[in-house]
Amino acid sequence: MRVTLGVGVISTVASQQEASRFPPHVLASFHIPKTFMSDLISVITANSVDPDTIFANNEMSLRDIEIYGFDYDYTLAFYSSHLHTLIFNIARDILVTNHRYPEGLRKYEYIPSFAVRGLHYDVQKALLMKIDAFHYIQLGTVYRGLHPVPDEEVIAMYEGCHVPLEIMSDFYGKSSHGHTMKQFMDIFSLPEMTLLSCVNDFFMRHNIDYEPVHLYKDVKEAIRDVHVKGIMYRAVEADIEKYICYGEQSHAVLKKLSAQGKKMFLITNSPFDFVDRGMNFIVGKDWRDLFDVVIVQADKPSFFNDRRKPFRRVTDKGVLLWDRIHRLEKGQIYKQGNLYEFLRLTGWRGSKVLYFGDHIYSDLADLTLKHGWRTGAIIPELRKEIKIMNTPEYVHMMTWLQSLTGLIEQMQVHRDPTSRAVVEEWIKEREAMKPHTKDIFNAQFGSLFRTYHNPTYFSRRLSRFADIYMASISCLLNYDFQHTFFPRRTPLQHEASYWPEHGSAGLGASSPAPQDQSRV
């Protein structure tokens, strides 16, 4: 008899005569999960995760935080989808105009739903892929151009699915010093990944022989020109309402911190005129009154490591002054500098400082590893993924997948032919479900945080370098300044579970206070 299994339901045997063919332990496995799964789905559905929750990797109390620091792009300022289209189009046209790429590339348009953050790109093989925390490639997520590469071909190219450490990107995700992989950790990198894939696609479609390394470097240079030459900045400033999402909640967070007497500073790689225009739109003309220190064109991550660059004061008209900086004054604008000088001039050290940024490497890694600051990662994609996770479709699918995995684990010890046949059916169904767990988030690459069961490479770095993480800084509005964030104590593999694994969805996150609770 072939056992048919469906998402959320385990088939029972059709008759007593058929039932007599199965050993008791097999029959028991048909019935136990039914009530278990029904109860489990009800509990999970009733305790859906609030997208405005702040999640903790490390225990941290806001009562200990005296100074709050912020990046600008995708931390205080959030951009509409129009910006990625703009970056893609300008960089594409730079390739055609300046690098003499084929005119036919202009037919390609930005594909917002194609890539996700955290992917790796093999520069020499021209492959875009997702890699998990253990350096294994997630099969089904390897793309050459705009088309997936068959699993058999991937396994042949890499002699398996593992990517050795020596060819992975360096600490900041860059491809250098013999590394052949580049990791895209910046939200601004989404247009770059899409452009790389589109150009690869054009060359393959037209059977054009090309050098992948040259292609990668040219696309990288074109994207850099969009930023460095100020093309993007001028476009955003000219039509700010089109590109910047109104930051009413960002303004509310800054006002709340100011009202509590907290020190605040801004460290960004963006130029002053661009930041000033955006902050005028988000906060108002008096935005500088909220910050004790403002640093632009900081050149992160070098800002956190290079002691050689001194601060320079910038006038409101953008003129660089030559005088030596003896203190960082409120209301003034400073350029470049370095963190060591910043610490000397401000005395803001250690765990009383909390810095928010969206780039896990450039914004957060050095601060937590070398300087002991607290760090908060802003992950805008989190809100969309949580909403998907709260859907009945996802809850049913993942509950059944976990139950199915548990059944396989328990039943595999039985070696009789009937038991083995049932287990084989379950294994096939489990494998068949994997693509669905990917596609529900993104048809090409799946979730930002998981490769099927394992955490992604991105997710592992997030847990290492960020004390807390959230969809936007507006999530701070849901907590008072006495709140302590506690990470979930998930059992290690050799530990027993001392708490119901599927209890409240608030476990593992510091849930927002009820709406009627007074907020400080």
User: Which tokens sit at 24?
Assistant: 């008791």
Q: Which of 50, 64, 71, 439 is catalytic?
A: 71
Q: Which of 50, 64, 73, 239 is catalytic?
A: 73
What is the rounded CA–CA span in Å between residue 441 and residue 446?
5
User: Which tokens sit at 216?
Assistant: 């990668």
**Chain-centroid distance, C-alpha 218:** 26
**Chain-centroid distance, C-alpha 33:** 34
Question: Is 73 part of the annotated catalytic residue set?
Answer: yes
Q: Which of 294, 197, 250, 263 is nearest to 476 (CA)?
A: 250
Find out whether 358 is annotated in a ligand binding site. Answer: yes
Question: Is 366 part of the annotated catalytic residue set?
Answer: no
DSSP of 20-61, one letter per residue?
A: TTS-HHHHHHHHHHHHHHHHHHHHHHHTPPPTT-BEESS-EE
DSSP of 207-262, one letter per residue?
A: T----HHHHHHHHHHHHHHHHHTSHHHHHHHHTHHHHEE--HHHHHHHHHHHHTT-
Q: Which of 355, 299, 300, 294 is nearest to 328 (CA)?
A: 294
Q: With DSSP H G I counted as helix, E B as strand and the rest as coil, what are the percentages for the chain, rounded to 5?
A: 45, 15, 40
DSSP of 92-119, one letter per residue?
A: HHHHHHHS---GGGGG----TTS--TT-
Q: Could you tell me which residues come within 8 angstroms of residue 198 by beta carbon, excluding any fewer than 6 positions away?
A: 92, 105, 108, 111, 145, 146
Cβ-contact 300, 267 below 8 angstroms: yes
Number of H helices, E strands in the chain: 16, 22
Find out whether 276 is annotated in a ligand binding site. Answer: no
Compute, in degrees rounded to 10, the torsion defined by CA atoms 225, 226, 228, 232: 160
The amino acid present at 427, given as its one-letter code, is I
Q: Locate tokens 């900045």: which residue?
A: 233
Cβ-contact 72, 278 below 8 angstroms: yes
Binding region for GMP:
73
Binding region for Mg(2+):
71, 358
Residues with a catalytic annotation lie at 71, 73
Binding region:
71, 73, 358
